[in-house]
């Protein structure tokens, strides 16, 4: 193989990753699978598309070796092929935020009031949570919390908050987080708790952002 053909082959192989992540729905699949493995049926519900289209997206991601699958009874269960794939999603999003004004404007609409966001940096938030000065709640589904969550966070899925208000202290700030900056669960939690008179803030990080910053999840350290 001559040098030009070899270079073309190298770039072609890397381009396989680019092609695989060129679909918005495939990017969403990567974010969802970064929370833990999921069946095709679960992904279909989350994506609000039909199961044939979900399967086609998963096939493209699998061909690029970004996801893998195993059979569990009559279900196919998918997972990321490695933690670096979750990091790839975070880096892609960060680059897009840095360079795409349209994305920044869309994010500004999601966070119309900056006062909703916690002012604590990651390390300080973790220390305040450890000391019990703030209460961090993970408002994702319980199965995602079980796979990995921020240190000292307690599981309180958004659809359970209304029934579990008595578990939250009225004299401390509640910090809610979900799957990352594009996830709306924490906004729902904020609106609900704010309406009930709690001091509440949102954290834009999800577990992928936390890991990408080099910080441990609860599964990695003792709580």
Q: Do residues 119 and 80 both lie within one domain?
A: no
Q: Do residues 51 and 127 both lie within one domain?
A: no
Indicate which CATH number applies to the domain containing 46. Answer: 1.10.10.10
> Cα-flanking dihedrals φ and ψ of residue 78, to 5°?
-110, 150
**Catalytic positions:** 178
Task: Tell me how far the alpha carbon of residue 112 is from its chain's centroid.
Answer: 20
Of the residues 86, 103, 127, which one is the last residue of a structural domain? Answer: 86
Residue 97 lies in a domain: no
H helices, E strands: number in the chain: 10, 7
Per the structure, the complete domain to which residue 53 belongs is given by: 3-86
Residue 94 lies in a domain: no
Q: Do residues 64 and 128 both lie within one domain?
A: no
Domain count of the chain? Answer: 2
- What confidence tens digit (pLDDT) does each residue in 146-191 have? 999 999 999 999 999 999 999 999 999 999 999 999 999 999 999 9
Mean pLDDT of 11-35: 97
Question: Chain-wide mean pLDDT for the chain?
Answer: 94
Q: Do residues 58 and 120 both lie within one domain?
A: no
Residue 102 lies in a domain: no
Task: Provide the pLDDT confidence category of residue 220 given band limits of 50, 70 and 90.
Answer: very low
- According to DSSP, residue 117 is labeled B
Task: Provide the pLDDT confidence category of residue 112 given band limits of 50, 70 and 90.
Answer: low
Give the pLDDT confidence score for residue 223 in this predicted structure: 40
Residue 26 lies in a domain: yes
Contact (CB, 8 A) for 176 and 150: no
């Amino acid at each position: 193989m001559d040098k030009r053909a070899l270079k073309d082959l190298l770039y072609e192989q890397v381009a396989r990753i680019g092609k695989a992540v060129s679909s918005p729905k495939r990017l969403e699949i990567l974010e969802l699978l970064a929370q833990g493995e999921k069946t095709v049926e679960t992904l279909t519900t989350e994506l609000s598309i039909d199961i044939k289209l979900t399967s086609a997206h998963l096939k493209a991601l699998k061909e690029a070796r970004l996801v893998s699958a195993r059979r569990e009874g009559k279900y196919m269960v998918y997972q990321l092929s490695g933690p670096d794939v979750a990091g790839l999603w975070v880096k892609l999003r960060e680059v897009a935020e840095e360079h795409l004004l349209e994305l920044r404007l869309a994010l500004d609409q999601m966070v119309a009031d900056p006062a909703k966001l916690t002012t604590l940096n990651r390390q300080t938030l973790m220390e305040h949570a450890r000391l019990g000065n703030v209460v961090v709640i993970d408002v994702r589904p319980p199965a995602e919390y079980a796979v990995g969550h921020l240190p000292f966070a307690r599981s309180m899925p958004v659809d359970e908050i209304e029934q579990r208000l008595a578990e939250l202290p009225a004299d401390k700030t509640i910090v809610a987080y979900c799957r990352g900056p594009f996830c709306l669960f924490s906004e729902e939690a904020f609106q609900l708790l704010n309406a009930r008179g709690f001091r509440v803030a949102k954290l834009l990080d999800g577990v992928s952002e936390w890991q990408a910053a080099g910080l441990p999840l609860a599964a990695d350290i003792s709580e």
